[in-house]
Structure 1
Amino acid sequence: MYRQGKWDLRQLVKDHKSPEFARQIANLQEMVKRFEDQKDNLKPSIPSSEFLKILKSIELISENASIIGGYASLLYSADTQSDEATSLVTRVAKLGSEIENKMLFFDLWWKRKIDEKNAQRLINNAGTLGEYLRHKRRLAKYTLSEPEERIINTLDVTGPTALVKIYDKITNAFEYNITLNGKKKTMTREQLTVLVRDTNPKIREMAYKTLLTKYQQNKGVLGEIYQNLVLNWKDEGVEIRGYSSPISIRNIGNDVDNKTVESLLEVCKENAHVFYDFFSYKAKSLGMKKLRRYDLYAPNLKKIKERNYTYEKATKLVLESLAKFSPILSDYAKRVFAENHIDAEIRKGKRDGAFCSTVSPNITPYVLVNYTGKSRDVFTLAHELGHAVHSVAASKQSILVSEAPLPLAETASTFSELLLYDNISNQMSNDERRLILSEKIDDLYATVMRQAFFTLFEIDAHDQIAKGTTVDELSKKYSENLKSQFSNSVELSEDFAIEWSCIPHFFHTPFYCYAYSFGNLLSLSLYQRYKKEGISFEKPYIEILAAGGSQKPEILLDQYGINIRDKRFWQDGFDYIRSQVKELTLLN
């Protein structure tokens, strides 16, 4: 029996108001103090055995800090209105920052103060922690002296970090005044965004125009913020640290090669046409000659009675889908339920959306969903349990390398959704399949093509800003990006030229977006391989998940004959998307 309830966090902390929790924190602080005492032992000639003890100390501190931090975060997610939980999150974040500063000396020593020969000696004797050390060494050539790093950290608070806060404060304060059904209303962006999926095309258009007009009115200050953030990214990353290009800063942080990302983006650009038939299909289903950009996320207008799934039925379907591919992975997912590590009920104050949190490789992940019984919720459950399965598969890895690099992070989640679709599609009527398939392709467009073109725009924008440009010229470049993406398949209007300033990722985390394209296309390509190889693919797939972040993505996948530097690999993912679009059009 699977009950839609609240998770149990007592495995992490029994009671945060108890003396026992205070001792947990005190013990962690004592570990950090003992770690600081080892600073004088860090010499190039340090014996491997002694160095491994230092790494074990880092593991232990990371484990304990993650448990305390994870508990605070999960407690807050369960009730965001709780002053007690909010206060605990702030307190624990401060503790985490203090610990990070006290341990900074190890990173700087490893990156800058040890010669290559001794570094390689220690890496060779570090076992599975070799990649943890190698990745830090890759960053070494971009690391400055300790005084310089401290200066940058200090100035960052009043520099780029402050600019991002100003952007958030300005845009989060925006109020959108609209007239809906004859009544004047003031909405937040979140409320307005709901309307872009309205069944009425005039309401969709009004919602977009209202949103974009507000950003157009504030283009001067938002453009100034963006240009200064981009210049800071270049000045620090390229000019001072020595990265080869603005995007390479993100690539190296993601532990992937520039060539890999270039191949991914080239294939995305070459396959933009794959979605054109879908846009044409969608226009017809909406009774339009041609889809407008305002209608991109319009719902299916055909009256389809969507099936409701009880929580128990949904859970069994997801577990069954996993089991058909791999009983091992299904058993991994069952742990989440057996240990009551899932929060699925709807209640006031609980965080919106869904996520999976891995606090420690030694603890079964925690999953949060807001389950309402719709088919989309069943796929969300499959997605988050996919993340959990990935974490459990990698649980034998050290906490320092158990988490997959960002581009691989969506592998198991998307794969699990694909397994679910295959499992239930034959049980659905054509109308239900049409609805779910349409939503699925909508998501593929949003997570693959849209994100890739966001990144292509960023590359151009960073180049333009470095040479000197205006906000209007940036908007013109964005319009060209949209035209390249949609060609004549979607009717574009001039108001979307300012849309770039609405994308928080551009301001918060430059070049982050391609990770969505990477992760989803990787899963689609692996799924294509599974369809060709059948059950024999189970073993290599689980081994890929089990590696976590212990190997560089290119090196890990090369072992299984998967070359992610090669454009042909990414093309497999688009071949799958094309097959789904064709299936949808044939259902009509």
Structure 2
Amino acid sequence: MEKVIGENWSLDSLYAGGKESSELNGLISQLKHDMKGFQEIVQTFDQFYSEKDLIDLLQQIQEFKQASFELDEFMVCLYAVNVDDPDVSKLVDESAKLQADYESLKIDLDEILAGISEAKWKHLMNHDEVKEYQFYLEERKQKMDDKLPIEMEKVINKLSVNGFIGWEDYYEQMMGALRFPVEKDGKKEEISFGQAGRYLFSSDRSVRQNIARNIVEVCEEQAESFATVLNRINGFRLDVYKQRGWDNVLKEAMEENRINEQTVQTMVSAINENREVAHIFFKRKAQVMELEKLAWYDMETPSFTSDKKISYQEAADIIITQFYKFSDKLGKFAENAFQEGWIEAEDRKGKTHGGFCAFMPLKKESRIFLTFTGSYQDVVTIAHELGHAYHNYILQDEPAFTQEISTSVAETASTFAENLVLDAAIEHASSEEDKLSLLEMKILNGLKYQVTVPAMFQFEQKLYGQRMQGPLTVNEISSLMEGMIKKIYGDALDENNKYLWMTIPHFFHTDLAFYNIPYTIGYLFSNGIYAMAKEQGKQFPEQYDALLQSSGKMTVEDLASRFLNKDIGEKEFWEASLEPTIEAINEYMKLTEKMI
């Protein structure tokens, strides 16, 4: 490449001066002004509106949605590299307030949509401009039809702040207050759960074992309080469902993810029928690690590690090369992202942890954040986030309403991009040790979505089933968890953590129940697309882009039917999607046979 690729992103090219940006502060002022105007409009908007008035309002709301979303995403970026700056924290709070106001505005919009007569609705849906986001509006109206009268829903939302959401906030406080004893440099100290988690990835098993047993001990001491919170959150949700007349706890989760429940159950059935291959892998992993059996704190520890370090320039070359092999469009996109400063990768102090992709719909650019340490996992992470950025790029000219995609398809492009890079690395690994390290990376990531997450989904279903009869005790919740752990690992596990439910925040989220299973849907859906891409070669990219472009306009079933010619209600699709992980396990078993 002609241009040297830097490891720092450019935020100034978006809003020059960052927190001091006059353009940024002007955007905040404009959004506040617009929100005040919306609040006045919706209060007087009644059945005497004209169709043109409503279409204008919908357009203005979409413009506000894009601008407020960009502000929020930019704040995420600004905070990620300025975690200790109080001025940035204040801006983050302002953005959060605007987001909360927008959520309230959507409720007012729902009330307007609910009041439209059937004749007027049909006429509105036939309007050329509205057809572009017809799916979104019909979806919102259907949800309103399934709920209580709008005033009652508003009461529920208001009460949830100090009830439902209050319990989630309390969970976060309790988790933040937990402390775990650890010995460091000969001295005993107490650390947070986040810090303890890092010890669980230590290459020294005695370190992992000590912190793991301390985690279980502390969780056992605090379990009663956490069980109370979980019971209250689940109980509140069940009470709301009952008031709405919903007898299916999966209804809301399936609708939010735009997928049929039967499709998900078919997927889970395929997963359950292929779970044995995971048990085989875990047993071999124990043998390779010279253990009689694995403990729960051994599961994420790789049995093979590569000492090979990759420079950031090499990482960029690998990703760009593999993306070009799929399509010129994807390759050029990645090349531009690296060269134009879209990626913050430098390993330095003052940054937050983790990785993400932020989208700026007004600027039509994305920004990617991570800390690059030279491992191949970091290369895969960049590819994953670039997949999200490419999805944003494909959607950038769509109406704001149809840029809203469900979690079940949000991981499609990212997993696809990840597969392009990881599979190529496995194929061209320079040593057997490197190959096994990469294979295990692929396996562990696959099993997370193909085994662990589906088991948690089944745990949560049983949890809700029993909660309908009344609050569960700590022992009852932990017993359910132990049963699921047994399903995950079979008899390959010697020591488990029956308090795992306490440390999985997804169970305590109030936005949506069953928050975990969409990631499995997205992962396997993407695997199915990737398998087709390998079969069809150069004729597939255009089809792939069309699927991504429509990802906010239809259900997962319709996406598969229209763009893949596949019926995902049939087990065959999901069985094929499980194959990449199964094939990787088979290769791992073959290569490690001589080592035991």
What is the match of residue 139 of structure 1? 143
**Cα displacement (A) at 1:13:** 5.8
Code of the residue aligned with 2:310 in structure 1: it is Y
> For 2:409 and 2:487, how far apart are their aligned partners in 1?
27
Q: Unpaired runs of 5+ in structure 1?
A: none
Q: Give the secondary structure class of the aligned counterpart of 2:181.
A: strand
Indicate which of 287, 290, 301 corresponds to 1:287.
Answer: 290
What is the match of residue 443 of structure 1? 445
Compared CA separation, residues 263 and 336, structure 1 to 2 (3 A): same
**Cα displacement (A) at 1:418:** 1.0
Code of the residue aligned with 1:516 in structure 2: it is Y
Pairing 1:228-377 to 2, within 5 Å after superposition = 228-236=232-240, 238-300=241-303, 305-360=306-361, 363-377=364-378
What is the match of residue 133 of structure 2? 129
Q: Give the secondary structure class of the aligned counterpart of 1:218.
A: helix
Compared CA separation, residues 365 and 490, structure 1 to 2 (3 A): same
Post-superposition CA distance 1:256-304 (Å, at most 9, x none): 222222222222222221212211221121012332333212232x5x5
What is the match of residue 488 of structure 1? 491
Post-superposition CA distance 1:93-129 (Å, at most 9, x none): 123323443564222221x212344323322321220
Instruction: Confirm whether residue 209 of structure 1 aligns to residue 213 of structure 2.
Output: yes
> For 1:83 and 1:434, how far apart are their aligned partners in 2?
46
> For 2:299 and 2:191, how far apart are their aligned partners in 1?
21
Q: Unpaired runs of 5+ in structure 2?
A: none
What is the match of residue 457 of structure 1? 459
Is this contact kept in 2: 1:361–1:398, CA < 8 A? no
Is this contact kept in 2: 1:75–1:85, CA < 8 A? yes
Code of the residue aligned with 1:128 in structure 2: it is E
Q: Give the secondary structure class of the aligned counterpart of 1:451.
A: helix
> For 1:182 and 1:313, how far apart are their aligned partners in 2?
40
> For 2:141 and 2:559, how far apart are their aligned partners in 1?
19
Pairing 1:98-247 to 2, within 5 Å after superposition = 98-102=101-105, 104-110=107-113, 112-125=114-127, 126-179=130-183, 183-236=187-240, 238-247=241-250
Post-superposition CA distance 1:147-180 (Å, at most 9, x none): 3233222211110111112122122111111346
What is the match of residue 570 of structure 1? 574
What is the match of residue 73 of structure 1? 76
> For 1:97 and 1:470, how far apart are their aligned partners in 2?
35
Is this contact kept in 2: 1:290–1:490, CA < 8 A? yes
Code of the residue aligned with 2:500 in structure 1: it is E
Is this contact kept in 1: 2:18–2:78, CA < 8 A? no
What is the match of residue 56 of structure 2? 53
What is the match of residue 518 of structure 1? 521
What is the match of residue 63 of structure 1? 66
Is this contact kept in 1: 2:286–2:294, CA < 8 A? yes
> For 2:33 and 2:306, how far apart are their aligned partners in 1?
60
> For 1:244 and 1:44, how far apart are their aligned partners in 2?
33
Code of the residue aligned with 1:365 in structure 2: it is S
> For 2:280 and 2:290, how far apart are their aligned partners in 1?
15
Q: Give the secondary structure class of the aligned counterpart of 1:353.
A: coil
Q: Give the secondary structure class of the aligned counterpart of 1:555.
A: helix
What is the match of residue 538 of structure 1? 541
> For 1:384 and 1:439, how far apart are their aligned partners in 2?
17
> For 1:305 and 1:96, how far apart are their aligned partners in 2?
44
> For 2:283 and 2:276, how far apart are their aligned partners in 1?
11
Q: Give the secondary structure class of the aligned counterpart of 2:514.
A: coil
Is this contact kept in 2: 1:167–1:222, CA < 8 A? yes
**Cα displacement (A) at 1:532:** 2.3
Tell me how many residue pairs correspond in the alignment: 582
Post-superposition CA distance 1:421-479 (Å, at most 9, x none): 23233332221011111122112122331111111000000111111232211211211
Is this contact kept in 2: 1:80–1:349, CA < 8 A? yes
Is this contact kept in 1: 2:253–2:515, CA < 8 A? yes
Q: Give the secondary structure class of the aligned counterpart of 2:200.
A: helix
Instruction: Confirm whether residue 418 of structure 1 aligns to residue 422 of structure 2.
Output: no
**Cα displacement (A) at 1:322:** 0.8
Is this contact kept in 1: 2:15–2:24, CA < 8 A? no
Identity of aligned residues (%): 24
> For 1:239 and 1:245, how far apart are their aligned partners in 2?
9
TM-score normalised by length of structure 2:
0.92
**Cα displacement (A) at 1:37:** 5.5
Compared CA separation, residues 240 and 433, structure 1 to 2 (3 A): same
**Cα displacement (A) at 1:19:** 5.0
Is this contact kept in 1: 2:551–2:559, CA < 8 A? no
> For 1:194 and 1:263, how far apart are their aligned partners in 2?
36
Bigger drift between 278-287 and 479-488 goes to 479-488
Is this contact kept in 2: 1:387–1:413, CA < 8 A? yes
Compared CA separation, residues 513 and 103, structure 1 to 2 (3 A): closer
**Cα displacement (A) at 1:511:** 0.5
> For 1:203 and 1:169, how far apart are their aligned partners in 2?
27
Code of the residue aligned with 1:223 in structure 2: it is A
Code of the residue aligned with 2:587 in structure 1: it is E
Q: Give the secondary structure class of the aligned counterpart of 1:497.
A: coil
Compared CA separation, residues 362 and 130, structure 1 to 2 (3 A): farther
> For 2:263 and 2:280, how far apart are their aligned partners in 1?
28
Code of the residue aligned with 2:115 in structure 1: it is K
Is this contact kept in 1: 2:426–2:439, CA < 8 A? no
Is this contact kept in 2: 1:204–1:294, CA < 8 A? yes
**Cα displacement (A) at 1:576:** 1.9
Code of the residue aligned with 1:442 in structure 2: it is L
Is this contact kept in 2: 1:361–1:392, CA < 8 A? no
Is this contact kept in 2: 1:2–1:312, CA < 8 A? yes
**Cα displacement (A) at 1:48:** 4.7
Compared CA separation, residues 43 and 121, structure 1 to 2 (3 A): farther
TM-score normalised by length of structure 1:
0.93
Is this contact kept in 2: 1:361–1:391, CA < 8 A? no
Pairing 1:464-475 to 2, within 5 Å after superposition = 464-468=466-470, 469-475=472-478
Code of the residue aligned with 1:57 in structure 2: it is Q
Is this contact kept in 1: 2:439–2:584, CA < 8 A? yes
What is the match of residue 92 of structure 1? 95
> For 1:148 and 1:305, how far apart are their aligned partners in 2?
58
**Cα displacement (A) at 1:41:** 8.1
Code of the residue aligned with 2:238 in structure 1: it is K
Instruction: Confirm whether residue 528 of structure 1 aligns to residue 564 of structure 2.
Output: no
> For 1:37 and 1:170, how far apart are their aligned partners in 2?
40
> For 1:441 and 1:361, how far apart are their aligned partners in 2?
38
Code of the residue aligned with 1:520 in structure 2: it is Y
Indicate which of 436, 457, 464 corresponds to 1:434.
Answer: 436
Is this contact kept in 1: 2:425–2:438, CA < 8 A? no
Compared CA separation, residues 399 and 370, structure 1 to 2 (3 A): same
> For 1:25 and 1:181, how far apart are their aligned partners in 2?
48
Bigger drift between 95-104 and 515-524 goes to 95-104
Q: Give the secondary structure class of the aligned counterpart of 1:177.
A: strand
Post-superposition CA distance 1:300-336 (Å, at most 9, x none): 2x5x552111111101111111110111112222332
Code of the residue aligned with 1:433 in structure 2: it is K
> For 2:123 and 2:558, how far apart are their aligned partners in 1?
20
Is this contact kept in 2: 1:293–1:492, CA < 8 A? yes
